[in-house]
Structure 1
Amino acid sequence: MAYKDEQLNEEKVFKDPVHRYVHVKDRVIWDLIATPEFQRLRRIKQLGTTNYTFHGAEHSRFNHSLGVYEIVRRIIHNFEDRPHWNEDERLLSLCAALLHDLGHGPFSHSFENVFKLDHEDFTQRIILGETKVNKVLERVSTGFAQKVADVIAKTYEDKLVVSLISSQIDADRMDYLQRDAYFTGVSYGHFDMERILRVMRPIDDQVVIKSTGMHAVEDYIMSRYQMYWQVYFHPVTRSAEVILSRILHRAKHLYEADDYIFKLEPTHFLSFFTGNVTLEEYLKLDETIVHYYFQMWQEEADGILRDLCERFMNRRLFKYIEFNPNMQMQEWKELYQLFQHAGIDPEYYLVVDSSSDLPYDFYRPGEEEERLPIHLQMPNDELKELSRNSDIVDAISGKKRTDHKLYFPKDLLDGLSDERMKRRIKEILNERGEIENDD
């Protein structure tokens, strides 16, 4: 029997808190899960610093990747014998679902932003490089690894396969909304996935929704909207991310300085600092390693690095207020100068952070492909774009929401000896809005 068709002697299952069980029967999938590159995802948290706000959010990219695989497995099962679905794409779809987040680094997006990295680029490098994952995929057939990489890159010729893990209603989103809601303990991310899976239909190059399932999709979109603003963009979580990014910036700055000697040399970060990251070095860095450095850097001679690491490790986060520097440029300039005069480096202790989200959009020429709309299949088989039939979705369609906050260390301001300077800083901050607590 060819490797691509090989089945395990007995189906394996992973007990899962969201989907109850994750079922594995294909030898290829089982072998991929066992690779070091996939096992590494156990050491990358799904939600980065969100556990500083919701203490249960300790789940990993490993959990999520298995969940996305399981949803795609169930979708494909429902697609069997339906027109427009090519059964030859089954294994490719499962592999792409399992491996779609393979390239995430520690603290994911925060880490990427500091070092100008792209996890999707590293996902493809892992799949196509000299890795155990690549060896498994190439055993399926020569060039199979490239096909998997193409699906994840959204360049694969069969757009129906791509849409299973990358569209406005895909397995990736359906898993992380439910999984993140479960582990954070919130109610926002729950929706009737069973119903959605039952009404999904493969049509040409996309998955459409049977019109009778419209209300389940409305619930899904509103769940996503609420999760972004109540969980993913929570200001306390963003405060931890701000400190994390400032630590990495400071460590890079000290490394580039000729006169600073680290007590603990940042060996695992060197290639990131120089912008020449090899795949081998990338795979060696996970969140356990980063936490080790942060723990040890609390003893560094540099006061800023030492302070920021102590704040991150012990959850002494920055306070925040609503603040848009584009609208309050004069206040921003004055605050910046006041911080400098007070001896509080504004590059590290006065940070504006912006969050934005577009919960749903219909197709607009030139926009990214994932904004292709969700279509409803009407009783006469006509396809209609979702927001044209749903007042709820129409109300938020195309409406991008952006939120700006200013983060700063209130404890350092409270400790200033110059009362006039302290008073003026607090006047500016309080003019912009009440200082928020971090709980």
Structure 2
Amino acid sequence: MNPTNPLDNLKAPGSLLEQKTSETKVFRDPIHGYIRVEYQIVWDLINSREFQRLRRIHQLGGVSLVYHNAEHTRFSHSLGVYELCRRMITEVDSIRSILNQQEQITVLIAALLHDIGHGPYSHFFESISKISHEDLGTMIIESDQTEINQILEKAQNGLSKRVTSILKKESEPHLMSSMISSQIDADRMDFLLRDAFETGTTYGNFDLERILRTLRADQDSLFIKKSGIHSVEDYIMARYQMYFQVYQHPDSYGYELLIERFFKRLEQIENENQMMNKDLDPDKQMIDMASDLKNPLRMLHKGQIHLLDETLLNMVIRKALDFHDEILKDLAERIINRKLFKWMDQPGDQDLKIIRAELKKHNLPESIYLQEIELSTGEYLPYHEKSEPILVLDMDGSRKYLSECSAIAKALLSVQKPDSHRIYFPELILDTLIKDQTDNKNSYD
């Protein structure tokens, strides 16, 4: 990568959006073979410090603690989404005929930047920062404090807002947004193939080449020829399997829960110290770093959003090993050494009674060491037709919902996994629970 300031590559404030690189740049990629870059503005955005930050953000958050090889990043996924949009433009005649050259380049930029707002451990971080990655991404692209914004505006006035309008689904033609975010889009197609490859599973595999060959478009959306139905069925089944076998793995959630508990405990400590007017030294540096992490808008306004990464989060957690609070130190040790909480689905009243008694016995606060969650699986079902359904182009030229043409899609619409009540708790309680369950079982024999 070019270590110089990417802004130096653009010739002049009025330089054309269509400016090409001196030669086609390529990235070797395990999913797409080569990722090709031919526009200078795309190359400059990749070299920006905010985009390089994505190298330091895990794509799958806590999933890497379950599938040990899932170490890939938002950087590689973002490049993959860009490449799929580039292929759509290159290989789907109807897309190329609808979008002019500047629109084509703009949608490529939007594809590249669609995840620019993700924080440490991706989606999980939103529970810490209280801001969605979509909203933060819009602010990063539109803020004059970022290299990304400066590159966009130097290429063409107002370009940053045209990019965010695509990401917010406010663009015309709406097709540009559909290419990046719909039920059959470059984002989902890349992350399914990439996540399956990196986790070593086969759930996420489907025939990408067949989908691209049978893909069609109009001003508003993408749709598929009827001859491509079977490849789309594989695609939505891949989503179905990946959601429940990989993305929603309980141990992945358990790891992210530890980090959430860590910040909750830190907040408790801060509040207690403020009430007592207690000096935080020598812990102030760690407290300040954690405060920046929780406030990405403050980092953005200070021109430091490129420092919002997992390196910073891990530094905070490491420093907590020397913190004065034993509970915070315990949580930090658990995070660093993967000492996850145990979990149980559908616990009974007796189970909860035992856990609470054991926590009290070991002087462990329930607010930190017992987490009860209600899992509503309906929102994670991989296909629905409430908005932007997958449309099929029939032989007579009419368009139908996928469920009208596919028994598999129709069956998935009716799938409802039961909601679940799950609890997480320290492993030291497990023996007591098992003994109680064994005693109860024996009493029935």
Counterpart of 2:393 in structure 1: which amino acid?
Answer: Q
Q: CA deviation at 1:229?
A: 0.8
1:346 aligns with 2:360: no
In structure 2, the partner of 1:393 is 409
CA distance in structure 1 between the aligned counterparts of 2:183 and 2:396, rounded to whole angstroms:
24
CA distance in structure 2 between the aligned counterparts of 1:206 and 1:223, rounded to whole angstroms:
22
Instruction: Go from structure 1 to structure 2 and tell me whether the alpha carbon gap of 1:404 and 1:85 turns closer, same or farther (over 3 Å shift).
Output: farther
Q: 1:111 aligns with which of 119, 125, 131?
A: 125
Spell out the pairing of 1:36-435 with structure 2 (5 A cutoff): 36-80=49-93, 85-88=98-101, 89-130=103-144, 131-258=146-273, 259=278, 261=280, 263=283, 264-271=285-292, 277-279=298-300, 280-323=303-346, 332=352, 335-336=355-356, 339-353=359-373, 354=375, 356=377, 357-363=380-386, 371-397=387-413, 399-401=415-417, 402-411=419-428, 414=431, 422=432, 427=436
Instruction: Go from structure 1 to structure 2 and tell me whether the alpha carbon gap of 1:283 and 1:314 turns closer, same or farther (over 3 Å shift).
Output: same
Q: CA deviation at 1:403?
A: 4.2
CA distance in structure 1 between the aligned counterparts of 2:179 and 2:129, rounded to whole angstroms:
30
CA distance in structure 2 between the aligned counterparts of 1:132 and 1:177, rounded to whole angstroms:
30
Q: CA deviation at 1:306?
A: 0.6
| Secondary structure of the corresponding residue to residue 286 of structure 2 | coil
The number of residues matched between the two structures is: 414
CA distance in structure 2 between the aligned counterparts of 1:112 and 1:82, rounded to whole angstroms:
34
In structure 2, the partner of 1:417 is none
In structure 1, the partner of 2:4 is none
In structure 2, the partner of 1:435 is none
Q: CA deviation at 1:393?
A: 1.0
Deviation string 1:409-437 (CA, Å, 9 cap, x unpaired) is 122555xxxxxxx46x96379989xxxxx
| Secondary structure of the corresponding residue to residue 301 of structure 1 | coil
Q: Is the 8 A contact 1:358 1:398 kept in 2?
A: no
Greater mean deviation of Cα atoms: 94-103 or 250-259: 250-259
CA distance in structure 2 between the aligned counterparts of 1:333 and 1:411, rounded to whole angstroms:
15
Greater mean deviation of Cα atoms: 284-293 or 95-104: 284-293
Q: CA deviation at 1:399?
A: 3.8
| TM-score in terms of structure 1 length | 0.88
5+ long unaligned stretches in structure 1: 364-370, 415-421, 433-439
Deviation string 1:361-394 (CA, Å, 9 cap, x unpaired) is 112xxxxxxx310000011110000011111111
Deviation string 1:239-272 (CA, Å, 9 cap, x unpaired) is 1111111111112221222147363532222245
In structure 1, the partner of 2:5 is none
Instruction: Go from structure 1 to structure 2 and tell me whether the alpha carbon gap of 1:199 and 1:145 turns closer, same or farther (over 3 Å shift).
Output: same
Counterpart of 2:289 in structure 1: which amino acid?
Answer: H
Instruction: Go from structure 1 to structure 2 and tell me whether the alpha carbon gap of 1:221 and 1:231 turns closer, same or farther (over 3 Å shift).
Output: same
Instruction: Go from structure 1 to structure 2 and tell me whether the alpha carbon gap of 1:295 and 1:84 turns closer, same or farther (over 3 Å shift).
Output: same
CA distance in structure 1 between the aligned counterparts of 2:143 and 2:96, rounded to whole angstroms:
36
Q: Is the 8 A contact 2:286 2:319 kept in 1?
A: no
Q: CA deviation at 1:207?
A: 0.4
